[in-house]
Amino acid sequence: MFKSSLIALCCAVPTTWILWNEMRKNEELLGELQGLVDRDRLTDIATRDYFFSRMSANPDAYGVSLMVDIDNFKSINDTFGHFAGDKVIREVATTLAANIRPDDIVCRFGGEEFALFLHQHHQDEGLEVAESLRQLVEAMSLNYEGQIIEVTVSIGGSLKQRIETIETAIKEADVALYRAKNGGRNQTIFSTVG
């Protein structure tokens, strides 16, 4: 009886350790996969999917939605190359992320475009933050292989009321963004809707 218990124990301990180790590895892999879904690989800011997931978890959030687009980005790629363009996207993303509050969120919306949500900001506060971000980007001096790249952004903003969806607020901010771009770029315009 003692011998069979000892054999069972000798088999159970390594088996338990192997199973525990495999479960730990699976959890680590799951965390890495989630990171790939949640974080943009180029900029290390939130992905668009994560942005909408986080916003849908709090549908009655109130605040300001911003759409930010790097001005004349195609000419940056054409003049300095795509690696320089990547550096510009990374630096703009870093500047945006470093100058918002921890409760706010910034994501790479697509290409050279970013979406931000400033929680519990009123329109005047959102305009102030947006203008500050625009000026910080304009003041950046990007050196790429000995060449200085001047970067500006256009920003469109809208107020998200508690009763409207984030998609509606983003659409309104996007309309304002195109007004800013069509009006000469390197400016912030807020939606007149809402």
Annotated active-site positions, please?
A: 112
Q: Pull the structure tokens for residue 183.
A: 């009006």
Q: Three-state DSSP class for 153? A: strand
Q: Is 1 exposed, middle or buried (0-12, 13-18, 19+ CB in 10 A)?
A: exposed
Half-sphere exposure of 193 (CA within 13 A, CB side): 16
160, 61 Cβ separation under 8 angstroms = yes
Among 120, 13, 117, 3, CA closest to 66: 117
Q: For 15, phi and psi rounded to 5 degrees?
A: -65, -45
62, 162 Cβ separation under 8 angstroms = yes
Cα 28 to chain centroid, rounded = 23
45, 106 Cβ separation under 8 angstroms = yes
